[in-house]
Amino acid sequence: MSLVIVGSLAFDTIETPYGRREKIVGGSGTYCALAASFFTQPKIVGVVGEDFPEGILEFFKNKKIDIRGIEVRPGKTFYWEARYGDDPNQRSTLRTEPNVFENFRPQLPSDYKKADIVFLANIDPDLQDDILVQFQNPKLVAMDTINFWINTKPEALLQVMEKVNLYFGNEEEIRLLTEEKNLIKAGRKILERGPFLVVIKKGEHGALVLEKDSVFGVLAHPCEEVHDPTGAGDSFAGGFLGYLDKTKAFDAEREIRRAAVYGSVLASFVIEDFGIERFKSLSPQEIERRFERFKKLVSF
């Protein structure tokens, strides 16, 4: 089993119609690793400041997440602030402070370099590129990003995209990146640039998994109370890649479809509470039950 996740570890301040939380733990790497930990033993690469809670690092270890790739640096942890309105698919980013992420250039532990699956979660695309060259022979490389990087570093982002096999993006990001309104056409544009698989996340409406000759649609679990949509995309990727790492089927269509359903299941749990709170009580049995319910949801 070897999945390495490169991403942010953060403090987030989040406001949704269900309330406001100040400086709670978040980050793309955090959500993804926690979701993946239900299937495999992910390794995480990132950086935190001295203000990052020791208890969370302990929590990662208890979840069998390998944290040797997390550097603790003098300074403050990455900080992000966002607000959601009544539509959970729409959010406004109010503030982004890179802090210790500025000038972060990690040297990976040697066993990390042998990873089968590498996930470049949402971080600076220059950093994604720098880190990717350190891996020896990954079988599957996936990436994700966010509007912030599409707007500020589009060239760097396109360069990374050419080197990956799987691209995760939400509808808004994919439209922005390709300047194409129709999602299927937009997805195809991305396929032309390198990846063999594009996953278009559609928030509470599920996701589309696009390959050259096929499109697979996965529903989102019908959730009546979305307390905090933050991290849904990263948790989707974590469930998806964690499952693929467990099965070692990196490009089999059947497993990719199941992976997408597990991704959707993990995302549906994380949004039930603020931040990473729901991961603290989530059990493998709950995941399996929701996976089975999913099958009923789509059979007719």
Residues that bind ligand AMP (CB under 6 A): 8, 10, 12, 26-28, 80, 96, 122-123, 146, 148, 230-234
CB of 121 to ligand AMP, least distance (A): 8
Nearer to ligand AMP among residue 16 and residue 28 (C-beta): 28
Minimum CB distance to ligand AMP smaller for 2 or for 174: 174
What's the closest the beta carbon of residue 292 comes to ligand AMP, in angstroms?
Answer: 25
| Distance of alpha carbon 191 from alpha carbon 256, whole angstroms | 16
Distance of closest approach, residue 213 Cβ to ligand AMP, in angstroms = 29
Is the CB of 148 or the CB of 216 nearer to ligand AMP? Answer: 148
* CB of 2 or CB of 183, closer to ligand AMP: 183
- How far, in Å, CA of 187 to CA of 129, rounded? 22
Q: How far apart are CA 189 and CA 9, in angstroms?
A: 31
- Residues 167 and 195: beta-carbon distance below 8 Å: yes
Give φ, ψ of 274 to 5 degrees. -75, 145
Burial class (CB in 10 A: 0-12, 13-18, 19+), 95: exposed
In the bound complex, what is the minimum distance in angstroms from residue 64's beta carbon to ligand AMP?
21
Nearest-approach distance from CB 148 to ligand AMP, in angstroms:
4
Q: Tell me the two tokens of residue 49.
A: 């400041």
Query: In the structure, how many helices (H) and strands (E) does the chain have?
Result: 11, 13
* Of the candidates 227, 220, 235, 225, the residue with the CA atom closest to the CA atom of residue 279: 235
Distance (Å, rounded) from C-alpha 134 to C-alpha 109? 10
For the chain, the helix, strand and coil percentages under 3-state DSSP, each to the nearest 5: 40, 25, 35
Instruction: Give the torsion sign (CA, 20, 25, 29, 32).
Output: negative
Q: Is 162:192 a contact under the CB 8 Å cutoff?
A: no
Using Cβ positions, the residue closest to ligand AMP within the complex turns out to be: 26
- Residue number, 116 or 146, with CB nearest to ligand AMP: 146
Tell the smallest beta-carbon distance from residue 185 to ligand AMP (Å): 23
Helix spans in 125-249 (H): 125-132, 147-152, 154-161, 171-178, 183-191, 232-247
**Cβ proximity to ligand AMP, 8 vs 178, nearer residue:** 8
Nearest approach, Cβ of 291 to ligand AMP (angstroms)? Answer: 21
Which C-beta is closer to ligand AMP: that of 2 or that of 120? 120
The DSSP output letter for 113 is G
Closer to ligand AMP by CB, 2 or 146: give it. 146
In the complex, least distance from residue 16 CB atom to ligand AMP, rounded to whole angstroms = 12
